[in-house]
Amino acid sequence: MSALLTTPTSAPQQQPRGFRSLLQRVSHHVEALPTAASVVIFIGMLVYGEIAYGRILQASTLSNLLINNAHLILLAVGLTFVILTGGIDLSVGAVIACSSVAGVMLINAGWNPWLAMVLMVLIGTAFGAVSGVLIQYFNVQPFIATLAMMFLGRGLASILSTQPVRLGDDSAARLLSTKIKIIDGPKVNDLVITPSVIIAALVVVIAFVILHRTRTGRTVYAIGGSEQSASLMGLPVAATKLWVYVISGSLAGLAAVLYTARLGSAQNITGLGWELDAIAAAVIGGTLLTGGAGFVLGSVIGALVLGLMNVLITRDGGIPPEATTIITGGILLVFVLLQRAVLAKQRE
Amino acid sequence: MNEHARGPLDALKSIMKRQYIWGIVAIALLLLINVIKEPTYLAISVGHNGHLVGNVIDILRSAAPVMMIAVGMCLVVATKGIDLSVGSLMAVAGAVAMEFLRAAPNTPGAAFGALGLVIVVTGALGAINGILVSVVGLQPFISTLVLMLAGRGLAKVITGGQNTSASNDVFRWFANGYVFGVPVVFVLALAIVIVVGLVVRRSALGLMIEAIGMDPKAARLAGINRRALLLTVYIAGGVLAGFAGVFATATVMTVDVSRTGYLLELDAILAVVIGGTSLAGGKFNITGAAIGAVLIATLDKTVVFLGVSSSASPAFKAIVIVALVLLQSERVRRMFRQRRAARPAKREVVAA
Amino acid sequence: MNEPLPIVEMDGISISFPGVKALDAVGLRLFPGEVHTLMGENGAGKSTLIKALTGVYKIDEGEIRIAGEPRRFSGTADAQSAGVSTVYQEVNLCANLSIGENVMLGNEVRGPLGVNWRATHREAHDVLAKLGLGHLNTKLSLSTLPLAIQQLVAISRSMVEECKVLILDEPTSSLDANEVDQLFRVIRQLRDQGVAILFVSHFLDQVYAISDRMTVLRNGRFIGEHLTRELPRAALIAEMIGKDVAALTAAEAGERREPRTGTVPVYEATSLSRKGALEELDIELRRGEVVGLAGLLGSGRTELARLIYGADKNDTGTVSLHGTPTQIKNPAKALSKRIAFSSENRRDEGIIRDLSVRENMILAVQAKRGWARPLSRREQNEIVAKYISALGVRPADPERPIRLLSGGNQQKVLLGRWLATEPEVLILDEPTRGIDVGAKAEIMDYVSGLADEGLAVVFISSELDEVVRQSDRIVVLKDHRKIAELDGGSGTSTDNIVTIIAEDHSADDYAGLAPREEVAS
């Protein structure tokens, strides 16, 4: 009788001992493995970066990592919801462009900046709602519906303005980007965060609570596992599927607010390729593209991995910046292939 | 394509039933709008080199690249897939061509060499899509999405981030030349449409592609080599995107790594859908896709002609895609069916 | 003694779909504390009736009364909240969620900070314990459980909210004998607690073992409701297939195939196996011989067929055709070697719905020829005309979309597809499932005739008597193993085979089951 095993699955079976029982435990939570792997990868990259380039594991670098990727974290969280249900949202980058251009133009036209920021989020909500309706009620495939929304967003952004639009330097909209020193380190090596980072952290916490402690959140996972079963179990499948796209769109709108606050300007070509970054962040963090498995914390790690990758590439200097999309694409591909391999092994 | 040949009236009737008839009607409508604004819109004259000149000629010329990628997209969509990378592959094609020609002498050999190199490169990229989809089993939109973004990065890496220019008379002729007074570009695009259409319908390729799009499992059990077919359509898509990229850059002999082919996959998808091919896969229609491409070109020109900014067109096209996809969706179809007066349906027992 | 009032009454229910009347004035009564079986051949309307009850399908005519009150449910959730739960054959749960979530989701215990998982899992544990599953760790993923236990979890989900009616749709199709016993114990327990249980199954022995009452449907019509103890088997079968009992017995006697032993081996496989599908076995197919594969559902017959055809790759084993070692890696290769396979899953692996009869029929021949050599219109017409007439496809219109044909005619078109490739070996997996008796006879006669002309046939059917009647040689499979090989002929009967299967104990396993007492057979 094994002393390690505390969760027997059947009475008359031989209790596995020692290592095998550990393996069994692990196999029962195999869906958390990829996320654990992403944490390991992140730490590994930090260590490698420190050894290879130096000045990585320090307050200012880490602060900038968070500040510069707050918007990507929001996108990754939003996309996690969508991908968990087995769908996809290709419109988030375009939504950011459309929302930020519209917002800045409104502020420059004299609108109350706070009102304009709320509107920026709502623009994202609107895009998400349209996607959700097309997908849920008209059975349009998610990638087609959100692809159309992506083009609509880019088109609208271009209609609004093809030139960059700038915020005034003292605009209230930039407030979210004010740096708050937490730890005053030597010279410029301070631990700094911005309200944007705090907002992103809050969103992550709320997302976690929703996904793991509410019926809607569990329904999201259920839909990804088997939409038909979830429906037969009486879960609110239709409403939930609509919600995940609304969430994704709204978070894209919020990301637009944070990004515009940091940059101080907006342009119709903003966000090109960010949907791929968000998808990559989710996949690296252990979210299965087929749905039903993944953790929002993993997506956050995935976003940070990508951000750190950018830092390391810049630090290296040997790789041209144009190559980053290729590398991101390559990493995404590798992870997707790994997921497939793990799934195939599991099925045996 | 199953009708037995009857009289010409029946042939006309069968054409009327085709979905792309709406495309033709829409083209006519748009031209009508232009004519109303400018009564001489449709005028075609013979220019000083014996070339045909006119707005209609311009439309045909700008439709040509879209026709090429629409044909490739049509085949891919028929297999229940999608190819989001065609625009980026066009940029890669342009990058490869311009970089090659910049270093090469101004000879016809160089021009054809550039063309050959482009075909190899874009064909290989298409093959990557094909392998990811057919061998690895990735969803088409993910693998072509990756190539869409990596492709543009590749184009930038090839040119070092510059918008490379080159000069080569023969190459320039590809895009700007005329043959029998008609733009070479359009003649070539038309030739591609005809050749692919014939190959697909005269051989068993069309039936096989439709079969794997409609029911991959049943098709495999019937002995159809799904892998080879998927590889073929994605490679074809890549090669056709290569052609289109060549023509898009040859007009100005410059590749714009950010803008060449940008969002053109939207145009291709739209053309395919207008032409009557469903995005769910299965039956496809190359003629329809070609007509759809001409419609899009007409739309683009009309928008500009009426004074609206051209950057607005993606928004319009997105709306049209949504409208068309909705029309194809079951729910909307059901609403239309209920409206029509119920004719007594033949009662047949269909066992499970 | 007064009959208790029925908890569910369905009266004059009619449902029509485009082109077919699925239910025609059907009635059903469910009484509390009874196991009531719904019987009928494939296509009789059993699934449709259940979906009509739970509101998944809208009723065109008729009335449903729950405890005397007229009621129309709007869907499974609505039905569930009124105490009418359904557990389907495919165990409609989410394998990626935990066991506890699958039981409790929708009824989870909520606290101020969201779901109180500790209390929820505790409740799940209590509910499971009532069905003898108290030893399960509810935090583990559902996928760690075997299918039979997942089914019991699905049933316990129905017990969370007060359940008055439990509908079990083909629950035993994937279970082995021990698992069926366990399920039946649970069913009896629930019945004794007063639940009305609607049981849908086609396994006659099980039906007679568990049910108190039966309703028979045929072709969407109500045929009769009987107490089980008052309806002998022969009479039940007669009601289900609509033939006179005497005529049945006569038909059985007369239509037995004259068994012959083939001599020339066409296909030989040794140590053929595939992990999770089939354990190593040998099989030989000879010219002009019909080999029947007999076994219960899940015994591995389809898996063997797919291995022979190359639809699945084998892990071990060597294959030779006409004495020459060959590797059959995929269906295209098999077809080129003149092996053809008609899948049992006509809908998903057979017909291509949106293509015409003609296109479906010539598909395999065309695939064999390759894309560059299309069949001319004339060649196509020849093939199509030949098989439409030989197999009696109705309506005889080659351009008709195949989805508009009845199941029986679709099957004939498929058969035509495979025969058109002029195979040497033809594997038929459930070729007569869901087909009316007339078409059944036509198809089997034709195949028998082909065997007489030299075709090697592999015949799989879940109707054991059909296998016995049609085969020259019978291979018996159980639990993915070959356990016997018999000659056809008057010495072999269905009873023989059933005995062989029942008495084979070489692979007893009790994985995942709670300890239980011996069940008297």
- Quote the pLDDT of residue C45: 82
Using CA coordinates, name the residue in chain A closest to C512. A10
Q: What is the pLDDT of residue C510?
A: 32
CA separation for the pair C473, C454 (Å, rounded): 15
Q: Would you say residue A129 has pLDDT above 80?
A: yes
pLDDT at C84: 92
Q: Name residue, tokens 């369905």.
A: C10
What pLDDT was estimated at residue C97? 93
The per-residue pLDDT for A347 is 63
Q: Is the pLDDT of residue A209 over 90?
A: yes
pLDDT digits (tens, 9 = 90+) for B278-309: 888 889 999 999 999 999 998 888 888 887 77
pLDDT, tens digit, 9 for 90 and up, residues B22-34:
778 888 888 888 8
Q: pLDDT at position C3, please?
A: 67
At C516 the pLDDT is 33
Q: Compare B250 and A173 and report the one with higher pLDDT.
A: B250
Rounded to the nearest angstrom, the minimum Cα separation between C311 and chain B is 7
Beta bridge partners of C226: C214
Structure tokens at A12: 């008359």
d(CA B289, CA B71): 6
Dihedral Cα C245, C247, C250, C252, nearest 10 deg: -70
Name the residue with higher pLDDT: B4 or C160. C160
Q: Quick count: other Cβ atoms within 10 Å of Cβ B174?
A: 22
Give the lowest-confidence range in A203-207, B31-35, B338-342.
B338-342
Confidence of residue C244 (pLDDT cuts 50, 70, 90): very low
Under an 8 A CB cutoff, do A332 and B331 touch?
A: no
Position A10 confidence tier, pLDDT thresholds 50, 70, 90: very low
The answer to whether C148 and C179 are in contact (CB under 8 A) is yes
Q: Answer with the residue of higher pLDDT: C324 or C240.
A: C324
Q: Which two tokens stand for residue C211?
A: 């049910």
3-state secondary structure of C65: strand
Q: What is the pLDDT of residue B343?
A: 40
Kindly state the average pLDDT of the residues B136-155: 87
How far lies C483's CA from each of C96, C294, C316, C479, C497, in Å? Answer: 36, 10, 19, 9, 10
B260-277: buried (b, 16+ CB within 10 Å) or exposed (e) per residue? bbbbbbbbbbbbbbbbbb
Q: Which has the closest alpha carbon to A10: C146, B16, C344?
A: C146
C-alpha–C-alpha distance, residues A70 and A73, integer Å: 5
Tell me whether residue A209 is exposed, middle or buried, using C-beta atoms within 10 angstroms of its C-beta: 0 to 12, 13 to 18, 19 or more: middle
A interface with C, Cβ–Cβ < 8 A, is 7-13, 28-29, 31, 209, 212-215, 218-219, 221-222, 224-226, 228-235, 292-293, 348
Four-point Cα dihedral C500, C505, C511, C515, nearest 10? 110
pLDDT of residue C115: 87
Q: Do C144 and A235 touch (CB under 8 A)?
A: no
Smallest CA-to-CA distance from B264 within B232, B231, B235, B297 is with B297
Alpha carbon distance B295, B59 (integer Å) = 9
- Specify the pLDDT at position C256: 56
End-to-end distance of chain C based on CA atoms, in angstroms? 31
Q: Based on the number of CB atoms within 10 Å of its own CB, is C350 exposed (0-12), middle (13-18) or buried (19 or more)?
A: buried
Neighbours of chain A (3+ CB pairs under 8 A): B, C
Q: Mean pLDDT, chain C, as a whole number?
A: 84
Q: How high is the pLDDT of residue B229?
A: 94
Q: What sign results for the dihedral spanned by CA atoms C257, C261, C266, C267? A: positive
Report, as an integer, the average pLDDT of A121-137: 96
Query: Which residues on C lie below 8 Å from A292 (Cβ)?
Result: 94, 96
The count of other CB atoms within 10 Å of the CB of residue B104 is 16
Across the interface, which of B229, B347, B352 has its CB nearest the CB of C42? B352
Neighbours of A131 (CB within 10 A): 31
**pLDDT mean over C398-404:** 88
**What distances in angstroms separate CA C264 from CA B200, C323, C454, C456, C457, one per listed residue?**
42, 10, 10, 10, 13
Distance CA C286, CA C262 (A): 5
Cα gap C474→A155, rounded to integer Å? 68
Are A320 and B157 in contact (CB < 8 Å)?
yes
CB within 8 A of B192, min separation 6: which ones?
A: B67, B68, B71, B240, B243
- The DSSP annotation for A305-323 comes to HHHHHHHHHHHH-SS-GGG
Q: Would you place residue B352 in the very low, low, confident or very high pLDDT band (cuts 50, 70, 90)?
A: very low
Buried b (16+ CB within 10 A) or exposed e, A68-94: bbbbbbbbbbbbbbbbbbbbbbbbbbb
Alpha carbons B154 and A222: distance in angstroms, whole number: 39
Residues of A at the B interface, defined by Cβ within 8 angstroms: 88, 90, 134, 137-141, 143-145, 147-149, 151-152, 154-156, 158-159, 162, 268, 273, 276, 279, 289, 320, 322-326, 328-330, 332-333, 336-337, 340
Q: Are A11 and C515 in contact (CB under 8 A)?
A: yes
Whether cis (ω within 30° of 0) applies to the bond prior to C374 is: no
* Residue-level pLDDT at C235: 75
Asked whether the beta carbons of residue C106 and residue A8 sit closer than 8 angstroms, the reply is no
Report pTM.
0.79
What does the pLDDT read at residue C508?
46
Over range C126-133, report the average pLDDT: 88
| Contact call for residues C142 and C112 (beta carbons, < 8 A) | no
Q: Are B290 and B69 contacting, i.e. CB atoms less than 8 angstroms apart? A: no
Separation CA A303–CA C177 (nearest Å)? 51
C5-21 pLDDT, tens digit per residue, is 899 999 999 998 765 67
- Lowest mean per-residue pLDDT among A31-45, A224-238, B9-23: B9-23
Rama region for B44: left / alpha / beta (φ>0; ψ in -120 to 50; rest)? beta
ipTM of the shown complex: 0.82
What is the model's pLDDT at position C371? 85
Mean pLDDT to the nearest integer, A143-165: 88
Q: Does B336 touch chain A (CB under 8 A)?
A: no
**Residue C86: both structure tokens together:** 């359904």
Whether pLDDT at C272 is above 60: yes
Q: Which of A13, A215, A292 sits opposite C105 (nearest CB)?
A: A215
> Rounded distance, CA C65 to CA B145, Å?
54
DSSP string, C482-518: EEEEEE-STT--HHHHHHHHHH--TT---TTPPP-PP
In the predicted structure, residue A280 carries a pLDDT above the cut 80: yes
DSSP code, position C152: H
Lowest-confidence range among A54-58, A66-70, B99-103? Answer: A54-58
pLDDT given at position B340 = 56
Torsion of CA B281, B285, B290, B291, to 10 degrees: -110
Interface residues of chain B, partner chain C, Cβ below 8 Å = 2, 202-205, 207-208, 210-211, 214-215, 217-225, 229, 282-283, 345-352
Backbone φ and ψ for A31, nearest 5 degrees, come out as -70, -15
CB A258 within 8 A of CB A176: yes
3-class SS at B260?
A: coil
Lowest-pLDDT choice from A171-185, C185-199, C219-233, C405-419? A171-185
* Closest residue in chain C to residue B215, using alpha carbons only: C352
Higher pLDDT, C205 or C34: C34
Q: DSSP 3-state assignment of A14?
A: coil
Q: What angle is formed at CA A325 by the lines to CA A320 and CA A330, rounded to 5 degrees?
A: 110
Binary contact (C407, B350; C-beta < 8 A): yes
Q: Is the pLDDT of residue A75 over 60?
A: yes
Instruction: Please report the pLDDT score of residue B16 as a whole number.
Output: 56
Helical packing angle, B55-78 and B86-103, nearest 10°: 120
For residue C138, give the amino acid letter: T
Asked whether A329 and A284 are in contact (CB, 8 A), the reply is no
What count of other Cβ atoms lies within 10 Å of the Cβ of residue C297?
Answer: 15
Q: Which residues of B touch A329 (CB under 8 A)?
A: 146-147, 149-150, 153
Please give the average per-residue pLDDT across C383-397, as a whole number.
88
The DSSP annotation for C209-254 comes to: HH-SEEEEEETTEEEEEEEGGG--HHHHHHHHH---HHHHHHHHHH
Highest mean pLDDT among A328-332, C47-51, C80-84, C337-341: C337-341
In sequence order, the 6+-apart residues with CB closer than 8 A to the CB of A40 are none
Q: Cβ C367–B208 below 8 Å, yes or no? A: yes
Enumerate the residues of chain A whose CB falls inside 8 A of the CB of residue C106.
Answer: 215, 233-235
Are the beta carbons of A332 and B152 separated by less than 8 Å?
no
Cα separation of B182 and B171, whole Å? Answer: 17
**DSSP E strand stretches across C147-191:** 165-169
* pLDDT over 70 (residue C425): yes
C337 and C299 Cβ atoms separated by less than 8 Å: no
SS3 sequence, B129-160? HHHHHHHHCCCHHHHHHHHHHHHHHHHHHHHC
How far apart, in whole angstroms, are the C-alpha atoms of residue B280 and residue B297? 25
| Per-position DSSP letters for B153-221, written without gaps between them | HHHHHHHTTS--B---HHHHHHHH-EETTEEHHHHHHHHHHHHHHHHHHHSSHHHHHHHHHH-HHHHHH
The pLDDT score that the predictor gives to residue C19 is 58
Between chains, do C93 and A233 touch, taking CB under 8 Å as contact? yes
Percentage above 90 pLDDT, chain C: 37
Is the Cβ pair A144, B325 closer than 8 Å? yes
Q: Does B317 touch chain A (CB under 8 A)?
A: yes
Is residue C389 exposed (0-12), middle (13-18) or buried (19+ Cβ within 10 Å)? exposed
For residue B7, count CB atoms less than 10 angstroms from its CB and return exposed for 0-12, middle for 13-18, buried for 19 or more.
Answer: exposed
